[in-house]
Structure 1
Amino acid sequence: MSNIELKGLPISKSSALPPVHTWTPPFCGDMNLVIKANGEWFHEGGKIKRSSMVSLFSRILWHEAGEYFLVTPVEKVRIQVEDAPFLVTAWQWIDTEKGRSIEFKTQTEDVLILGIDCDIWMASFSGEERPYVSMRYGMKALVGRNVFYGVAEYLERVDTSEGDGMGLISAGKSYLLLQDA
């Protein structure tokens, strides 16, 4: 088991993400860290209760060839993710230059605008259809049940390249979530 060295990483409230896409550290082994399907983070069997620690780790998370890693400029350790590493916990309508848009916020304080920063789709996990949004570096966030119920009130008829049915329109883009039978 490996622990990741966090020395040298900036500790700040800044929304700027570290440039992990430019780092090419050597693989240093596996870390006993699991992101559960409900969005909770566990280290060595115990839940990480400090949201600031989860947020720090989320900023150095990297997805590569179907696996997840925490990376720093000098090392890379593999972690386990049961479903999606992020969880959308809040949403609101906002006005953007592209029109009325849905803004999502994750448990790690990431802010995404549907149709601008992310897309939404339905996919199966353990036999259950679940909504996801795209995130940085090819990762995804599960849309929390309470958030999905909130946005579901705004489902409307959409016609997309995937088909017709019920979906969302945000920033001028249509997203099919429930296809006509």
Structure 2
Amino acid sequence: MADDLEAISQQVEGSRDFDFPPLHLWQPEFSGDIDIRIARDGTWFHDGEPIRRESLRNLFASILRREEDGEYYLVTPAEKWRIQVELHPLIVTDAEIGDGDLQLTLNTGKVITPGDEYQLFVDPSVDNVAAVTLWHGLTALFSRGAWYRLAACADDNGLVSAGAFSFQLT
């Protein structure tokens, strides 16, 4: 399986868009299951061992999508590998008000502004902790620290971001 990881990595590293590769254009046939699992805490594992290289984890996160069947896949122009996700594939690690809007930092380093495109919701399966919708059917759960910082950003009316977004924490 280590060869599979290297092959996937080589396919997308050359000419890829490091922020948002065109996954919607890539429709390869199903290649099979690969022993990659994303734990509830956001740790990525391969063959039972944590993926320690942040750059490799971020590369895989950039080619991850959830399809209509509810399953998660690593997708390249030539291959599509199913992986296991225990809860949410990504984690919100920080929340703060920046430039008047709420800014969320993900465990991949990406920073997003919740609004119409990225909507906050509470996940009843984890005691109503906040999560956010992302691209390609993905979601990110708030870490404990980010959840507390999100609550600190709210006033009596909740949160407002991107000029039109509101979210009640109660």
Same fold (TM over 0.5): yes
- Higher share in helix: 2
1:25-74 Cα offsets, whole Å, 9 max, x none, are: 01011111100010100111001111111001001101102100001111
Q: Do 2:115 and 2:162's aligned partners in 1 also have CA atoms closer than 8 Å?
A: yes
Aligned in 2, Cα 1:141/1:11: closer, same or farther, shift over 3 Å?
farther
Deviation at 1:11, TM superposition (A): 5.2
Note if 1:24 corresponds to 2:27: yes
Deviation at 1:177, TM superposition (A): 2.4
Aligned in 2, Cα 1:56/1:147: closer, same or farther, shift over 3 Å?
same
Aligned in 2, Cα 1:14/1:21: closer, same or farther, shift over 3 Å?
closer
In structure 2, give the amino acid aligned to 1:175. F
Aligned residues: 165
Deviation at 1:156, TM superposition (A): 2.4
Match of 1:105 in 2: 105
* Alignment equivalent of 1:89, drawn from 81, 89, 93: 93
Runs of at least 4 residues of structure 1 off by over 4 A? 11-15
Q: Do 2:118 and 2:134's aligned partners in 1 also have CA atoms closer than 8 Å?
A: yes
In structure 2, the residue corresponding to 1:108 is in which secondary structure? coil
Superposition TM-score, scaled by structure 1 size: 0.83
Larger radius of gyration: 1
Question: Within 2, Cα distance between the matches of 1:33 and 1:8?
Answer: 18
Deviation at 1:92, TM superposition (A): 2.5
Match of 2:114 in 1: 114
**Unaligned runs of at least 5 residues, structure 1:** 159-166
How high is the sequence identity, in percent, across the aligned residues? 36
The structure, 1 or 2, with the larger RCO (C-alpha pairs under 8 Å, 6+ apart) is 2
Aligned in 2, Cα 1:147/1:24: closer, same or farther, shift over 3 Å?
same
